[in-house]
Structure 1
Amino acid sequence: MANKEDKVDAKQFLAMLLQYSRDEHFNHINFSVRLNRNPAYTRQVLNVNLKRVSKKYGNDERVYTSMTAEVGSQILSLLNQLKEEMYGSGADKIIWQTALLNRTDQEFGYRQIRERDQYNNLEFELLL
């Protein structure tokens, strides 16, 4: 079980992720939570992948980070809150405002790729 100090600060992580993806011209951020099937290590893993589909900058796909779902639970919680605000207001995009971003606000879309299944796996992406 992760200690409280081992958890990632969600707002700071999301701000750094959005800033990096914008600076490097990535337009898709894919989050996937999957059960690791290794019998010796049965934990859920949160993977964050960046994807760029661009004629100007070229196509690229890379792993940004990987962590246990326990450590990244605050990130998933923050994204869930933003998603609920988006659906509650009937908007097509999420607008997140924070002083941690250089531009103080970021607009991005949310797209569910896979709903939770029997193993509690989940996959969604943010569209910049």
Structure 2
Amino acid sequence: MATNKSKIDPERFLAMLLQYSRDSHYNHINVSVRLNRNPAYTRQVMNIKLKRISKKFGNDERFYVSMTAEEAKKFLSLINHLKEDMFANFAKKITWHTELLERAQQEFGYHQIRERDQYNNLEFELLL
């Protein structure tokens, strides 16, 4: 059976994303899943942008990664699972425990920017 090596490890990817964001003082991680509207080419693409809004370190916006939604579906599933746990516990922030982070625990907020629409577009923000 062939394995698809293009899929990412969701926990490792989220840990790297959170670590890089914290080390570079970014406080907003914007994730958008968009449907490419070219009729001959209809795959979904996930883009991640990092934003810094800070008087001390200055404002900045940086493109982090782009990948197909097929490659990122486990990452999106992990985020959805963390979000559901947050809402089930009536918490204001997500607390994620993992050995992959230097500090073993990360707390971050979740903000839905756009619900899934007719084109299956989705946009949300993780607030550090």
Q: Do they superpose with TM above 0.5? A: yes
Structure 2: runs of 5+ lacking an equivalent: none
Report matched runs for 1:90-101 at 5 Å. 90-101=90-101
Find the residue that maps to 2:70 and give its secondary structure. Answer: coil
- Percent identity of paired positions between Structure 1 and Structure 2: 70
TM-score normalised by L of structure 2: 0.96
Report matched runs for 1:49-68 at 5 Å. 49-68=49-68
Letter in 2 for 1:52: R
Letter in 2 for 1:18: L
The yes-or-no answer on 1:32 pairing with 2:32 is yes
Partner of residue 102, structure 2 = 102
Structure 1: runs of 5+ lacking an equivalent: none
Letter in 2 for 1:57: F
For residues 32-83 of structure 1, the C-alpha deviation after alignment (integer angstroms, 9 at most, x for no partner) is 0000122332110000000000000000001100000000000000000000
- RMSD (Å), alpha carbons: 0.8
CA distance in 1, matches of 2:6, 2:65: 15
Report matched runs for 1:1-128 at 5 Å. 4-128=4-128
Q: How many matched pairs? A: 126
Could you tell me how far 1:4 is from its partner in structure 2?
3.0
